Amino acid sequence: MLDNGKLRLQGVGAVKIKLHPPIEGKIKTVTIKREAGKWYAVLSVECEPKPLPASAEKVGLDVGLTAFATLSDGTEIENPRYYKEAQAKLRRAQRKVARRKRGSNNRKKAVRDLQRAHAHVRNQRADFAHKVARTLVALFGLIAVEQLNIKGMAAGMLAKSVNDAGWASFIAKLTYKAAEAGRELVKVPANGTSQRCVCGAPNPKTLSQRWHQCESCGLSVPRDHASALEILRLGLSLLGGTWPT
């Protein structure tokens, strides 16, 4: 229970807490965890949804590694690659741990510094995902995304890049933000979205082919843009809608 800026815990008592963001709604559960030498209280709350004004705007979203995501209107969202940028710092922190004597205070401090460096990357990635999801939910009434097998994709040669992109966390945030705002989010099968055109014609490509050129309808756009268009078409078809003209 929160009381005058303090959290009352059974068996512990009142503990000072820094709230971010402010609590809205009725607290249902409290989970205490320790991460990188710091203590955190994770609160789940029950609150009323806050629907945004209705929007007729629709978008298909294709996540990727070159760009974090490409929208069906051709907009590209840059991939920040936080882990890649932090790799030099993480390697130095890891070397410090390796050089310290096991069980020593210096090693404990080096381990904590390494944990904090990893936590900083996770926090950067989470903040980025929150901001992008919030922007998309504010702009579009319908958002179509692929139902990706992210665990399978993160087990191959591109594992580091896939994990650094943080697609699973982003889609999870986008899902609950859309529900809270009264938006429609639809997940479509990922199979073949890059191998056919939005007009329905087959358009096979290898991974190295980054341009979509359709001989049937003449559509000529970057590969990820074409995929986003197809994702939107599939989303509309699942909802019984029609392709906008």
113 annotated active-site: no
Question: How far apart, in whole angstroms, are the C-alpha atoms of residue 106 and residue 60?
Answer: 51
78 annotated active-site: no
Residue 135 has a pLDDT of: 96
Q: Which candidate in 76, 78, 113, 146 is catalytic? A: 146
- 10-residue averages of pLDDT along the chain (245 residues): 78 83 82 85 84 94 90 94 88 94 92 92 91 96 88 56 72 93 93 93 93 96 96 92 48
All structural domains of the chain with their residue ranges: 1-48, 52-79+132-238
Residue 198 has a pLDDT of: 95
Q: Which candidate in 3, 46, 48, 62 is catalytic? A: 62
Residue 4 has a pLDDT of: 75
- CATH for 52-79+132-238 (3.40.50, 3.30.420, 1.10.287, 3.10.590): 3.30.420
224 annotated active-site: yes
DSSP H/E element including 146: strand 142-147
The β-bridge partners of 227 are none
Residue 94 has a pLDDT of: 93
